[in-house]
Structure 1
Amino acid sequence: MADPSHIQSAASKSIRPFRSSEEYLEAMKEDLAEWFNTLYDLDIQVDTFLESLETGCHLCRHANNVNRTALDFQERHPEAAARMRVPQNEVVFQAKNVVPGSFIARDNVSNFIQWCRQDLGIQDVLMFETNDLVLRKNEKNFVLCLLEVARRGSKFGMLAPMLIQMEEEIEEEMRDQMAEGAPGAPGSSRPTDPSPVCPQVREILGCCSCPSQFPMVKVSEGKYKVGDSNTLIFVRVLRSHVMVRVGGGWDTLEHYLDKHDPCRCAALCESTGTLQRCPWSPKCPMARDLPPRAAGPGGHSSCGSPGGSRPWW
C-alpha cells in the first residue's frame, strides 16, 4: 500500500501565488505527478509531466490497476458496488520500446481514452483526445481527465492525490455541519473562529494596496466569507499553492480574486485591454477614469459572482 505521507511531504513549502489564469494547472500537475510517483515508484517531474505519460504505458497500467482494485472492492462490498459503476475491461497496450508520438504510443493512449469513456463513463467535458496529449493540443483536459480517473479510483479504496483527499475532507465537513446545524455551515456567515487569517491567505490579500480592500473574513479553519455577500468558500494549502474549492473543481486563490475582486479585475482588464468588461467598484482608485460598467445578459456583470457553482473549467 502506498504511503499517503509521501504525497503530503512538500505541503510545508513556501507559498508561491499564481500569476496567470493557467497556472492552476501547475498545481494539479504537481499533485498528480507525486501521486503517480507514490503509487508506482516512478520519478515523474512536473516540468516533464506530459512527456512522461505520452506513450500511454503508465496510463494503461494504471487503468488495469483500477480494474483490479474495483473488482476486489466489488467482492468485499457487493451492496455498495451495486450502486457504483465498476470498470472491468482490461486495457490492452504495448509497454516495451514504445517511441513517443509513434503509432503504438497513440494506440496506447487511444485505448486508455476508450476505457475512460466506456468503463468509467467520464463525461465529455472532462475527456481529452489523443492529440491533446501527444501533440499538447489541450493540456487542461488531459489533466482534468486524469484527476477524474483518480477521483473514481479513490471510491474503490485507491490512494488519491491530495486535491481529491481535500475534496473528501470538505464534503465530510459540509455533511457534518448540515446534520448538526453547526454555526459556520453553508448559508451562515457568522465567524466562529477568532484566530486570524492564515499567513498564506494574508500574503495574497496583501498584494492589493487599495484603501478599501476586497473583504475576505475567516469564518472557521479553511473557510472564508468573501465580498459583500454571505458567500462562503473553502480554502486549502496545496504545497506551494493556495487553492479554492469552486463548483466541481479547484482554482487558485489569486486567480479567484482576479475574477471577483473589483480592483484586481480592473487591473487585469486594463492590462489586457478589456476595461469595459470589468465590474469594478467606485471605491477602487483604478476605476477613477474608466468608462461606465458594462453588463451582460440580464444586466449582470460578465465577471460572475463570488462562489458561484459554475465549474472553473
Structure 2
Amino acid sequence: MTSGTAAAWRCSTTLVTSPSGNGHLGHEWGLAASCNGGARLPETEEEYVEFYQDRIVSSQSRQLLPLQEDLADWINKTLGLDCLTASNLLDMLDNGVVLCRLARVIQEKMQEAAHHGACKKPIPVISGRCFESAARRSFFARDNMDKFIQFCRKLGVHQHLLFESEDLVLHANPRNVLLCLMEVARIASLYNVEPPGLVQLEREIAEEESQHDSGLGMTAWHYDSKTLRHSSSTSVLGGGGGWVHRGVSPDHCTIGKSEKLRRATSETGPAPILRGASDGIPSDTTEDEWSRGSAEDPDFDDEQVGISLLDRKVQQATKEVQRHCHCLGSKCDKLKVNKVGEGRYSIAGRNVFIRLLKDTHMMVRVGGGWDTLEHFLMRHDPCQQLSRSVSFREKTRTTRISKRKSFCQ
C-alpha cells in the first residue's frame, strides 16, 4: 500500500463532538469522505488491516473517556475540588499529591465507620510524609505514588488491579490506573464515601438481579437463542423505523446472586441479562429486535411510543456500525440487537446490561467491568470480525508468497 493511498482513506478520521461538548476522534463509517471530498474506502487487504488497527487504537482511547470523566467528578466531590476534568485527570494526578489526599479522606471515613461499628477490618494508613510540592516525574512524585499504591494494597485492592508508579508518573499505562482507582472507589463507597456514577449503576444492576433471584447461584443468565428465532411474538424494528408486532413465547432464565463471584468474572466473560419485563415477569411486549438495515433507513420518530433515550442511542449506535458492513446485498442481518427488558439487551447473541452514564456515554456491563457500546459492537459485530480475520489471513498469505519469491530469486 502506497503512502498516498493510505492517506486518502485515513483522512476520513474526523473530530467528532460528543453531546457533552468533548471532542474525540471518530471515523466516518461506510462511504467515508476523503481529503478531496470524494468517497474513499480501503480497497486492498493491507489497507483493511491498517484501517482496523487504527480504528481499534482510536476506539480504545475513547473507551477510557467515560472512566476518566466519572473518576474526575468523583475525586472533585470527595476532596471538594473543581479543577479535575477528563482531559487533565492524569496530569493532575501524576505527582501523587491529590492521590495522597484522597487516601487520607478514605482513611478518615473508615475510622468514622469503625467508631460506629461499621468497619471491622484493619484501617489502612498512608505511611510517611507526602511531598506536597513534588515536581512531575521527580523522585518525590514516585515516592508519593508508591505510598498511594501501598495504601491501595492495604485497602484490599486486588494485586492484579494495582498499577505501578511509572504507569501514572510517565502516563505509561492509563488503563491500569483508571481500573485501580475505580476499584478504590468501590471499596471506599462501603464506608460512606459517595460512589462514582459507574459504581452506582453497578449497585442498581446488583439490586435488580437480587430482586429476581431464582436461587440457582449462577453468575450469568442464559436463554435459548432458538426461542428468539422461532418465537411467535417479537416486536421487530422495520427498515422504516416502525414497529412490526409478532408474538413472543415466554422463556425462562436463571439469575446470578453472588456479587463477589460476578466481580471475579473476566471482563470478556459472559455478561448477565434478564429476560422479561422490568418487574421480572416475562411479557409478550418486552422483546424488541433491531437488525441491520440499509444505510438509507430514515431516522427514528422522536414520538415513537416505547422508545427511551437509551433505546434511541442504542439504535443509533447500531446504525453507525451497520454502515461499515461490506456484505453483498443492500441489507445484512448478521448483527442483531434485541431489547429484552429495560436496560437489558442481546447483542449478536451476547446478553448484556446497558446503562447511560451522565446522559452521554452508553456503557455495557461486561463481567466485573464496563465497556463502551461503540467498542463492544466493534468487537462483536460478526461482519467486522470476519473482515478482520480474512484480512489477517490474506496479509499473512501475501507476506509468505513475497518471501518465497525473494528466496527463489
Say yes or no: TM over 0.5.
yes
RMSD, aligned α-carbons? 3.0
Mapped contact 1:226–1:233 kept (Cα < 8 A): yes
Match of 2:116 among 67, 76, 86: 76
* 2:255 paired with 1:216: no
Q: Secondary structure at the match of 1:205?
A: helix
Structure 1 equivalent of residue 328 of structure 2: none
Q: 1:22 to 1:121 in 2, by over 3 A?
A: same
Q: CA deviation at 1:202?
A: 0.6
Q: Secondary structure at the match of 1:171?
A: helix
TM-score (norm 1): 0.73
Match of 1:232 among 323, 336, 351: 351
User: Partner letter of residue 219 of structure 1?
Assistant: V
In 2, the alpha carbon distance for the partners of 1:17 and 1:184 equals 40
Q: CA deviation at 1:89?
A: 1.7
In 2, the alpha carbon distance for the partners of 1:140 and 1:73 equals 31
Mapped contact 1:31–1:162 kept (Cα < 8 A): yes
Structure 2 equivalent of residue 104 of structure 1: 140
In the TM superposition, 1:1-150 aligns within 5 A as 13=20, 20-40=59-79, 41-78=81-118, 81-82=119-120, 85-117=121-153, 119-150=154-185
* 2:365 paired with 1:242: no
In 1, the alpha carbon distance for the partners of 2:25 and 2:365 equals 16
Instruction: Count residues in correspondence.
Output: 258
Q: 1:13 to 1:45 in 2, by over 3 A?
A: closer
In 2, the alpha carbon distance for the partners of 1:222 and 1:144 equals 24
- State the Cα deviation string for residues 217-254 of structure 1 (Å, max 9, x = none): 111111112334xx421001113211100001000111
Between Structure 1 and Structure 2, the one with more strand by share is: 2
Deviates more, 1:167-176 or 1:195-204: 195-204
Match of 1:158 among 175, 185, 193: 193
In 1, the alpha carbon distance for the partners of 2:138 and 2:171 equals 15
Q: CA deviation at 1:189?
A: 3.5
In 2, the alpha carbon distance for the partners of 1:232 and 1:259 equals 14
- State the Cα deviation string for residues 39-68 of structure 1 (Å, max 9, x = none): 222311222211101111110111111111
Mapped contact 1:60–1:108 kept (Cα < 8 A): yes
Mapped contact 1:64–1:91 kept (Cα < 8 A): no
Mapped contact 1:69–1:158 kept (Cα < 8 A): yes
Mapped contact 2:94–2:136 kept (Cα < 8 A): yes
- Structure 1 stretches of 5 or more lacking a match? 1-10, 278-313
Structure 1 equivalent of residue 48 of structure 2: none
In 2, the alpha carbon distance for the partners of 1:33 and 1:232 equals 30
In 1, the alpha carbon distance for the partners of 2:214 and 2:156 equals 31
Work out the percentage of aligned pairs sharing the same amino acid.
31
Relative contact order: is structure 1 or structure 2 higher (C-alpha 8 Å, sep ≥ 6)? Answer: 1
Q: CA deviation at 1:267?
A: 4.3
Q: Secondary structure at the match of 1:89?
A: coil
TM-score (norm 2): 0.57
* 2:252 paired with 1:252: no
In 2, the alpha carbon distance for the partners of 1:45 and 1:196 equals 32
Mapped contact 1:54–1:133 kept (Cα < 8 A): yes
Q: Secondary structure at the match of 2:362?
A: strand
Mapped contact 2:78–2:102 kept (Cα < 8 A): no
User: Partner letter of residue 60 of structure 2?
Assistant: S
- State the Cα deviation string for residues 120-155 of structure 1 (Å, max 9, x = none): 132222111111111111111111111111111001
Match of 2:392 among 274, 279, 288: 274
In 1, the alpha carbon distance for the partners of 2:144 and 2:71 equals 20
- Compare CA radii of gyration and give the structure with the larger one: 2
User: Partner letter of residue 32 of structure 1?
Assistant: L
Q: CA deviation at 1:95?
A: 4.4
Match of 1:262 among 382, 387, 393: 382
User: Partner letter of residue 380 of structure 2?
Assistant: H
Q: CA deviation at 1:264?
A: 2.8
Q: Secondary structure at the match of 1:204?
A: helix
In 2, the alpha carbon distance for the partners of 1:243 and 1:268 equals 24
Structure 1 equivalent of residue 223 of structure 2: none
